[in-house]
Amino acid sequence: MEVLFRPTNATAAASELSLKPPRSGCLVHRVNQGLVFLHLKSYYLRSFSFCTLLPPSSHSFTSAIHSVPDSRVSEEVSSDSREWALQDFYSLRRDVEIVSNRVEEIRSSAGLEQLERELVDLELKASDSSFWDDRTKAQKILLALNDVKDKIKQLSDFKTQVEDAETIIKLTEEMDSVDGGLLEEATDIIKELNKALDRFELTELLSGPYDKEGAVISITAGAGGTDAQDWADMLLRMYMRWGEKQRYKTRIVEKSMGEEAGIKSATIELEGRYAYGYISGEKGTHRIVRQSPFNAKGLRQTSFSGVEVMPLLPEESMDVEIPEEDLDISFSRAGGKGGQNVNKVETAVRITHIPTGVTVRCTEERTQLANKIKAMSRLKAKLLVIAEEQRASEIKQIRGDVVKAEWGQQIRNYVFHPYKLVKDVRTGHETSDIISVMDGELEHFIKAYLRYKYTKSSNGED
Amino acid sequence: MTASYRLSSLCITTSIFSSHGTRQMKVRLTGFGGLSTFIRPPLHRLKSTPCALSSSVLFSSSSPPASQSHQVPLFLRVPKYATPVSDLQKWYSWASDLAASVGSTFLVSDNGPDSSLLCRELRWLLEDALQEDIDPSLIHQVGVNSAQREVNLKTGIEDLYKLWIQRIEERRPFQYIVGCEHWRDLVLCVQEGVLIPRPETEIIIDLVADVISSNRVLKEGFWADLGTGSGAIAIGTARALGGCGTVIATDLSPVAVKVASFNVQRYGLQGVVEVREGSWFEPLKDVQGKLAGLVSNPPYIPSENIPGLQAEVGRHEPKLALDGGVDGMDHLLHLCQGAASMLRTGGFFALETNGEKQSKLILDYMEKEHRGTFYNAKAVPDFAGVLRFVTAFRV
């Protein structure tokens, strides 16, 4: 998440800094700084839209400049080291500001007040005289109580720590000297705090019941012939690259080739912690706009490919019973005489859950039975995920119409021509570096989506 | 253990049983010419001659000689052929192109596989040829590092070229190429001379499992799989019985007996499945009237359909296991008749057929010729909805 916050604050800081005209007496240094800031500015201004939403920086940079006397800066002898100290101080102060905002953001989005109410409630329950009558229930409550306490403590620790760092900054500003030791301490605090915040956010953002699991990604070429099949193949490569970069165990388990080029469909399995949590937001329709190499006239063409993501759940963890009459199981080896007359490796199995219309197909295994078992387990995983998304407590409550609409939703545009742009429809996150994205650089998109999902769900709860 | 049977005037010598008292029987065939009379069931004789002719002709012309040992399937061989990944990738892309060039020509000419099925086979061939701990997706990985790497294959790269040419140009079945077929949760070794088990037949095991789940007596009894081929049904049944009961698997073909025995051993079922060589009920005299269950996927394709079969089937699989006589009913009816005398009271039997027409004929036959012998006789559909099986219980 820091990716999202840093630029925004830094933009504010950087623009303020660069607006400050260089003053006499320390021209050289100022020019240097100007260059640095200019660079920063051009880098960060790309995300300018974020900046407008932000509250103005609480610390005025001007005061910092004043608080460091010009004479000190312009002293020739130790100018190098002092220049660095000054730079360090600036960047440290910026870091502290960023982290301070980040802490505020996290404390509010984690629902601190709500947590405190929960704590009171749980403590009340725990102090009840009949508390230990039901041991299992008591254990559960105690566990929940611990969790809430931990969380509150973490959140208040964040605040104390960032306040410590802020105090050091204020102190430095007010004092006429730079205390290396103190600044060192603040730097350490910020470093550790950032790590802790990352961890906290990760567990918050990836707190879905299946987020820890591995993932199954299925890619299906949409209508659009060879161009769409080639697009599906490009997506396959993108996710393979992403998986490899994350050091997940990545395996293509099924791949059905297109007639001329590309693929009709493919399925990848990613094994590794949090694979599902990260990649689940990729599900939906991905749209490409380009001058198709498969179009004789070289005209601009739009194609689509569908991506589905399911958790890779161990069979025993899926406690779902689906009544047989709700299932429509079909096998590819239908039609014709079958039996001894035919020898074809048609082992594909397709299962449709009739009430919701959710369908899975499994072709990768070498026997029908194995494909049926695998298809069943994928179907269960899919239904569980949908139930969770719809906050349905049972498969029976899933609303099929909603599934259809949601799973096919267009989520991202990849424009190769006439300009280069990848833009997520949901989060608005975008980049012109389409090559890196196709090489599996999905981190920013994924984080933006997780953030978006998190904000959406916490708003929804309020 | 000894099953003795008289062979018509034929030059077959049997020497039965090893010193361990095991069940495997060794039979030396010194001629094929007259065997058609041997495989022909009594009922068959009453029928017209063309089928007898055709079955004898087909049998003698296409059945491979009984080799001394079964072939080792690819996936069980030692991965001792170090091959650069780049060479393997070259082969794979060549083979993919060859598969792609087929398009739907096989499909159009004889309902054979199209390119996409061939590509699937190719992937599985690679899977079987690669050393176990290697991920087959390396074939798609580009980059210098992976291409310079070496991997161990279970056969030489030249052999892979040869095998794939056989697959496409001779239409040699994929299962003979790799020497195995995945069937239910089993991997069964197969080779020329043995019918490749079909996915439809997997259902027979479900039918058996259903029956024994509520019947302890049947679960602990003798079961027979007649014309076992690779041993698929026998092994599947034995595993369904779960340690109770015994399965006797018979086959006329010595190659099938060898292959089935090998598969039985591979699943450690030597004590449960006994493979006997001989025609239908001939090797089962000792259990007459005692069988708890009888299952079979006998040859049922009408003789006249044989020439038009998918090339993989018609040109390469044993006619002995396919040709069911004029209307394909010869062996089915023979088995049905035999079941009446072989099964114990309450015994179960299940046969695979060519579909609705044959299934109904069998039900009619049981009704007319064996009235009061069977109960609960019915035709059961396969996964495609074809009435593929007939099941019944002995009164």
In this structure, are residues A385 and A279 in contact, taking their beta carbons and an 8 Å threshold? Answer: no
Quote helix, strand, coil % in chain A, to nearest 5. 55, 15, 25
Q: How confident is the model at residue B191 (pLDDT cuts 50, 70, 90)?
A: very high
Q: Name which of A249-253, B91-95, B175-179 the model is least confident about.
A: A249-253
CA distance A196 to chain B (A): 37
> What per-residue confidence (pLDDT) applies to A169?
86
Q: Name which of B16-20, B103-107, B169-173, B184-188 the model is least confident about.
A: B16-20
Q: How confident is the model at residue A197 (pLDDT cuts 50, 70, 90)?
A: confident
Probe site for chain A from B75, B106, B182 (most A CB atoms < 10 A): B182
Q: Containing H/E element for B222?
A: strand B222-226
Q: Which residues of A388-415 are buried (b: 16+ CB within 10 A; e: fewer)?
A: eeeeeeebeebeeeebeeebeeebbbbb
Cβ-nearest to B383 among A331, A342, A367:
A331
CB within 8 Å: A337 and B355? yes
Mean pLDDT, range B326-340, rounded to an integer:
93
Mean pLDDT, range B46-72, rounded to an integer:
42
In angstroms, rounded to a whole number, what is the distance separating the alpha carbons of residues B234 and B226?
9
For tokens 């009739």, the residue is A354
Residue A46 has pLDDT above 50, yes or no: no
Q: Which residues of A79-98 are buried (b: 16+ CB within 10 A; e: fewer)?
A: beebbebbeebbebbbbbbb
| Number of Cβ within a 10 Å radius of residue A335 | 11
In terms of CA atoms, which chain B residue is nearest residue A244?
B141
> What per-residue confidence (pLDDT) applies to B205?
95
CA distance B305 to chain A (A): 9
User: What mean pLDDT is reported for chain A?
Assistant: 77
| Domain at B199-394, CATH from 3.40.225.10, 3.40.50.150, 3.30.1360.200, 3.40.190.10 | 3.40.50.150
Cβ-nearest to B301 among A341, A346, A366:
A341
Q: How far is CA B108 from CA A124, A256, B43, B322, in A?
A: 76, 20, 38, 22
> What per-residue confidence (pLDDT) applies to A144?
84
Residue type, A454: Y
In this structure, are residues B16 and B24 in contact, taking their beta carbons and an 8 Å threshold? Answer: no
Cβ-nearest to B120 among A259, A345, A368:
A345
- Cis check for the bond before A418: say yes or no (omega within 30 of 0): yes
Q: Domain A316-397 falls in which CATH fold? A: Double Stranded RNA Binding Domain (3.30.160)
In this structure, are residues A112 and A155 in contact, taking their beta carbons and an 8 Å threshold? Answer: yes
Which has more pLDDT, A44 or A369? A369
Residue A95 has pLDDT above 60, yes or no: yes
> What per-residue confidence (pLDDT) applies to B322?
95
Q: How far is CA A316 from CA A43, A311, A372, A383, B274, in A?
A: 50, 14, 16, 15, 36
> Taking the domains of chain A in order of start, what are their residue ranges?
2-68, 81-204, 214-312+408-458, 316-397
In this structure, are residues B114 and B90 in contact, taking their beta carbons and an 8 Å threshold? Answer: no
In angstroms, rounded to a whole number, what is the distance separating the alpha carbons of residues B285 and A86?
102
What is the homologous superfamily of the domain A81-204 according to CATH?
A: Release factor (1.20.58.410)
Residue type, A359: T
Q: Name which of A185-189, A403-407, B51-55, B184-188 the model is least confident about.
A: B51-55
In angstroms, rounded to a whole number, what is the distance separating the alpha carbons of residues B308 and B314?
7
> What distance separates the 2 farthest-apart alpha carbons in chain A?
97
Q: Domain A214-312+408-458 falls in which CATH fold? A: Alpha-Beta Plaits (3.30.70)
Residues of A in contact with B354 (CB under 8 A): 337, 339-341
Mean pLDDT, range A171-194, rounded to an integer:
82
The answer to whether residue B79 neighbours chain A at the CB level (below 8 Å) is: no
User: DSSP label at A283?
Assistant: -
Give tens-digit pLDDT for B240-288: 998 888 999 999 999 999 999 999 999 999 989 999 999 999 999 999 9
In terms of CA atoms, which chain A residue is nearest residue B110?
A342
Which has more pLDDT, A272 or A65? A272
Q: Which of residues 335-374 of B touch A (CB under 8 A)?
A: 352-355
Residues of A in contact with B388 (CB under 8 A): 338-339
CB within 8 Å: A257 and B305? no
Q: How confident is the model at residue B195 (pLDDT cuts 50, 70, 90)?
A: very high
DSSP B303-361: GGGGGGS-HHHHTTS-GGGTB--TTS-HHHHHHHHHHHHHEEEEEEEEEE-SSHHHHHH
Residues of A in contact with B200 (CB under 8 A): 333, 338-339
Mean pLDDT, range B345-372, rounded to an integer:
92
Q: Name which of A180-194, A432-446, B212-226 the model is least confident about.
A: A180-194
Give tens-digit pLDDT for B9-49: 333 333 333 334 333 333 333 333 333 333 333 333 333 33
Give tens-digit pLDDT for A53-75: 333 333 333 333 333 334 343 44
DSSP A113-137: HHHHHHHHHHHHHHTSTTGGGSHHH
> What per-residue confidence (pLDDT) applies to A404?
65
Query: Is the whole model's pTM more than 0.80, yes or no?
Result: no
Residues of A in contact with B96 (CB under 8 A): 257
The answer to whether residue B102 neighbours chain A at the CB level (below 8 Å) is: no
- ipTM for this prediction: 0.79
Q: How confident is the model at residue B316 (pLDDT cuts 50, 70, 90)?
A: very high
Residue type, A274: Y
Probe site for chain A from B120, B126, B329 (most A CB atoms < 10 A): B120
CA distance B220 to chain A (A): 26
CA distance A430 to chain B (A): 29
Mean pLDDT, range B361-376, rounded to an integer:
90
Q: Which of residues 5-44 of B touch A (CB under 8 A)?
A: none
Residue B388 has pLDDT above 90, yes or no: yes
Helix residue spans in A322-418 (DSSP H): 368-389, 400-407
Give tens-digit pLDDT for B279-311: 999 999 999 999 999 999 999 999 999 999 999
Q: Which of residues 158-197 of B touch A (CB under 8 A)?
A: 173-175, 182-185, 195-196
> Taking the domains of chain B in order of start, what are their residue ranges?
74-177, 199-394
Residue A249 has pLDDT above 80, yes or no: yes
The answer to whether residue A244 neighbours chain B at the CB level (below 8 Å) is: no
Q: Name which of A263-267, A294-298, B129-133 the model is least confident about.
A: A294-298
In terms of CA atoms, which chain B residue is nearest residue A265?
B116
Cβ-nearest to A345 among B100, B121, B310:
B121
Residue A179 has pLDDT above 90, yes or no: no
